[in-house]
Chain A
Amino acid sequence: MVVAPPPCAAAGRCRAIAIGASAGGVEALGTLLPRLPADFARPVLVVLHLPPRHPSPLASMLDARCAVPVREALDKERIRPGTVYLAPPDYHLLVETDGTLALSVDPPVLYSRPAIDPLFESASAAYGEALLAIVLTGASADGAAGLAAVRRAGGTAWVQRPDSAAHPTMPQAALQMAGADAVYTLEEMGRQLALLSGTSHHPHPPTGEPRDERHGT
């Protein structure tokens, strides 16, 4: 029996979305991100565990399939609504409280760089309760500590239903350490995300002062 889950009310207040994925993540993101409508008003920050040593075709691959622009994050780039930013291979992706992206080559976390925990923790520090963090398929425990930090700060947590994930370890670890506001299959998650389009009252990110836009892309 398949019952459509109710909309996640807590997600309504979110101003940014952070997503972590590992093994099986290319397919999962390829299912999820194309469901974002062209008028999607929030930024989406994504860490996918990648082999560190090659330029990744993932951003251009997803960009071609998505209604919203998908690109690799640049250091000090201002976060724009309706854009998907991917962590580049071999860099951690972080969010600054002034609404810009930052990269780091700090040591791998749980053997991964990029890693999900640093993204979730820094995004949580920047957006607080206005962050929606999502853990997808993976064979790792990365993201669990970050998701716990997100929930402590009042943010919303979604986790891919483990039995629907290509690799259930990462969603399971996240649920075990952090719990979740909702557990969805990718299809359900895509529908729920699409419901968020156009409803944000604050399309511009974090808490800092509005900044000079001259150097924006």
Chain B
Amino acid sequence: MDEDTRLFDIEVRLLLEGVYQVYQHDFRNYATASLRRRMQQAMEHFGCTSISELQHRVLHDRRVFAQMLQFFTVQVSELFHDPGYFLALRQEVVPVLKTYPSLKVWVAGCSTGEELWSLAVLFDEEDLLERTVFYATDINPVALRTAEAGIYPLDRIARFSANYRQAGGRRSLSDYLVTGYDAAAFDRRLRKQVVFADHSLATDSVFSEVQMVSCRNVLIYFNRALQDRALGLFHDALVRRGFLGLGSHETVRFTAHAEAFEDLVPEHRIYRRR
């Protein structure tokens, strides 16, 4: 590692420690390589020439920290992102879920809600919606509010519709949306099944027993220690034989919980708790 990178990483570690001490948001075990890049972008955004300068502003001004949160957690997804994942859920997981009289599903790190709403639509089509409570959690209050609003720009909906069809959608995505002006909002009927909550995979504990956890492309932002923690939470939250869905190139294989889950649909990273 060259000297500039070494210093930069030290400054980032100090910033993360300060953020944890002052705001109790714990990014200390986030994966370094992508964080480093985003901290560089944050420096540019705030017009700072060093992380130490940025640290001063973040620690002394809560509003700057609120904006920094967007740099710690930028992720934008699509509805029915990786349609094959949702198709596999429909074929392999839904038949088992139908055997439960009531269901709880945890969408961990729900960000702006795309994955959550995809699942809600899927569950509605499979006649599971009415007996399901979705817990949609994230640490970013701005993202959570966006998720809760369930409103997406119309220019994104065309792409979403194509995904929906590839995911085995049986109706038209517009059946679930109320459109107006240049945006579309998810129907209230879907929204009343969802509980939105602030929850950190780094610092909080399990809050409910669930039949399924969907957590896609969140673990890639964690280092191995934090991946171990998060997967431990999922394991503790899941009922025996409960389901875990990850992103298309994430795996439990390199974590402490590799043996605690078995492959159900390896191609789409759907696991089952042993």
Instruction: Using CB atoms and an 8 Å cutoff, list the residues of chain A in contact with chain B.
Output: 55, 72-78, 88, 90-92, 94-97, 100, 102-107, 118, 121-122, 124-126, 128-129, 152-154, 206-207, 215-217
- Is the pair A129, B2 in contact by a Cβ cutoff of 8 Å? yes
User: How far is the CB of A185 from the nearest CB of chain B, in Å?
Assistant: 31
- Is the pair B37, A97 in contact by a Cβ cutoff of 8 Å? no
A75-B219 CB under 8 A given contacts A106-B74, A215-B254: yes
- Is the pair B34, A75 in contact by a Cβ cutoff of 8 Å? no
Q: Which residues of A contact B248 (CB under 8 A)?
A: 88, 90
Cross-chain pairs A/B with CB under 8 angstroms, 5 sampled: A78-B254, A102-B33, A105-B77, A106-B75, A128-B5
User: How far is the CB of A154 from the nearest CB of chain B, in Å?
Assistant: 7
* Range, interface on chain B: 20 to 34
Point out the residue from A75, A78, A95 that lies within 8 Å of B251, measured CB to CB: A75
> How many angstroms between the C-alpha atoms of A111 and B154 in the bound complex?
21
Q: Which residues of A contact B33 (CB under 8 A)?
A: 94-97, 102, 104, 118, 122, 125-126
A92-B2 CB under 8 A given contacts A103-B249, A104-B220, A105-B217: no
- Is the pair B221, A104 in contact by a Cβ cutoff of 8 Å? yes
- Is the pair A72, B38 in contact by a Cβ cutoff of 8 Å? no
- Give A91's nearest chain B residue, CB to CB: B249
Q: Which residues of A contact B250 (CB under 8 A)?
A: 74-75, 103
Point out the residue from B1, B31, B32, B251 that lies within 8 Å of A74, measured CB to CB: B251
Interface string of B219-231 (1 = CB under 8 A from A): 1110110010000
> How many angstroms between the C-alpha atoms of A118 and B33 in the bound complex?
9
**Does B258 interact with chain A (Cβ within 8 Å)?**
yes
A92-B34 CB under 8 A given contacts A75-B219, A103-B220, A105-B220: yes
User: How far is the CB of A211 from the nearest CB of chain B, in Å?
Assistant: 9
